Chain A
Amino acid sequence: MDNTNTSERIPYVEFADNANERTPCVLVLDCSGSMRGEPIKQLNAGLVALEKELKDDIDASSRVQLLIIKAFGKDEVKIESDWTDAMNFTAPEMEADGLTPLGKAMEIALQKIEEQKCLYDSCGITSKRPWIFLISDGEPTDYGWKESAEICRYAQKNKKVIIHAIGTQGANLDKLAQFSILPPKRLTGLKFTEFFLWLSRSVSCISKAAPNADNYMDDINDWNEK
């Protein structure tokens, strides 16, 4: 390589920003009855922190897209916040009630990702591999969750998606682990805010990362129980 030490640049060059590229991120949140009280309060505080952090990041705010799915009630699943660019994302206020149909919620997450990928392709929008974060304080309660978990692992093996399972205190990590080919993580105490700040930094980094740069995730020590 040349060692000339001048500051001369080629004049009149304009850098086009590929602002269209998206990094999709799905949060599948356990909002069952056991999350009542302090856990759901901390989860909501974390979502507000995620909103602020992503909006403050000029690149991530236009590149990251969020989708929030809630698992609750009598094995019910609800799209709490449909695909939204981070710049337009408003943290929903989650409420806790009922059971934990995580299998059903994860299958809907995969379906929504598939639909969004078709939309990107039809519009000529490139995208990074989607992330799903499954966050629970318990274990799946819906019939057939094991089949759903197998579908998730299959999708991940086929590079359709990257799935991270996160359990809070009391969560059955052995069961959550079945949804991903990556080992599950345990949230220290109720450090939802620390987790969502990490998520924001990581998804921001990935949204700007080079191809195959899959090791640019931020340090997880702020929230991960060792």
Chain B
Amino acid sequence: MTKTSPHIIATSVCGALHKAKKLPCQDFHMTKTSKGKLVAVVSDGAGSAKYGKTGAKTICETICNTLLEANIYNVRESVIKAIELARDKLRFHRYNHSKSDNELLKFSATIVGVFYHQNQGVFFHIGDGACMAFNMGDYDNCIISRPENGAYSCETFFYTMPDWMDYLRFTPFSDINRILLMTDGVTGFVFGDDFSQIHYKFLVPIVEYLDTQKSKQRAVSALRNTLNDRKAQRINPDDKTMLWIKLK
């Protein structure tokens, strides 16, 4: 890693519900950096979708592999193209027996992502989960891309839906030095009920630890153990992913 490379810590842990059903974690995360550009995506494969994990992995890989070619001015078009490409891959996936759009919902997954280059960035987001951009210590002025649920908390939106474009949201930001992406297994710990408040007693210890821990391996392990905490799993038995980026 060079001096200017961002410092990235991320982990996905399997929730108690999937563990009980002997299913793998349906969350996935990925980051890529090149020439000062950063792309990071976390995705939550829907528990109700047979191949949600595959949908989550496909979108993370497709976006990370294509978005490094973008710039801050055309990133929105590039995100849309990347999602269309991921949907194309799923149309011809071996698990899509009819090779049609009808079976895309079997791969349902959310998108929580960020593109960053030269002090400017943009969040792109479909469904639940959340993104935060802020300067270290200044949590009150953070830029947040909030979760989008349906009428009930048990419903959200996926890039595999026919009307996915209606749910794709972009949030620009600039001049910040920390980014945090998370799936919905974690949002309840970070935010209050209406997402207007931050639970500092969860967020601050994690942010400060990740910021100061020099060993990446140890930081990942501690983050994973924390998200796997028995109390955390009891309160929210969903899969949990956090992806932390220190830019400067």
Query: Chain A residues in contact with chain B, CB under 8 A?
Result: 1-2, 4-18, 20-21, 59, 117, 124-129, 159-160, 206, 208-216
Could you say which of A10, A159, A206 contacts B155, with CB atoms under 8 Å apart?
Answer: A159
Instruction: List 6 A-B pairs, minimum CB-CB distance, nearest first.
Output: A210-B238, A213-B47, A4-B221, A14-B201, A2-B220, A126-B153
Could you say which of A5, A59, A216 contacts B17, with CB atoms under 8 Å apart?
Answer: A216
B221–A6 contact, CB under 8 A?
yes
B218 within 8 A of partner (CB): yes
B1 within 8 A of partner (CB): no
B232–A15 contact, CB under 8 A?
yes
Query: Chain B residues in contact with chain A, CB under 8 A?
Result: 11-12, 15, 17, 46-49, 108, 128, 149-156, 184-185, 188-189, 192-194, 199, 201-202, 205-206, 209-210, 217-218, 220-226, 229, 231-232, 234-239
Could you say which of B156, B201, B218 contacts A4, with CB atoms under 8 Å apart?
Answer: B218
Given A2-B217, A124-B194: A8 and B222 within 8 A (CB)? yes
Q: How far is the CB of B184 from chain A (nearest CB, A)?
A: 6
Distance in angstroms between the alpha carbons of A215 and B48 in the assembled complex: 6
For residue A12, which residue of chain B has the nearest CB? B205
Distance in angstroms between the alpha carbons of A8 and B209 in the assembled complex: 12
A210–B237 contact, CB under 8 A?
yes
Distance in angstroms between the alpha carbons of A59 and B231 in the assembled complex: 12
A15–B231 contact, CB under 8 A?
yes
B49–A212 contact, CB under 8 A?
yes
Given A211-B155, A214-B154: A17 and B235 within 8 A (CB)? yes
A4-B221, A5-B221, A213-B48 are known; give 9 further A-B pairs, CB within 8 A. A1-B12, A4-B218, A10-B209, A12-B201, A15-B202, A18-B235, A21-B153, A211-B155, A215-B48
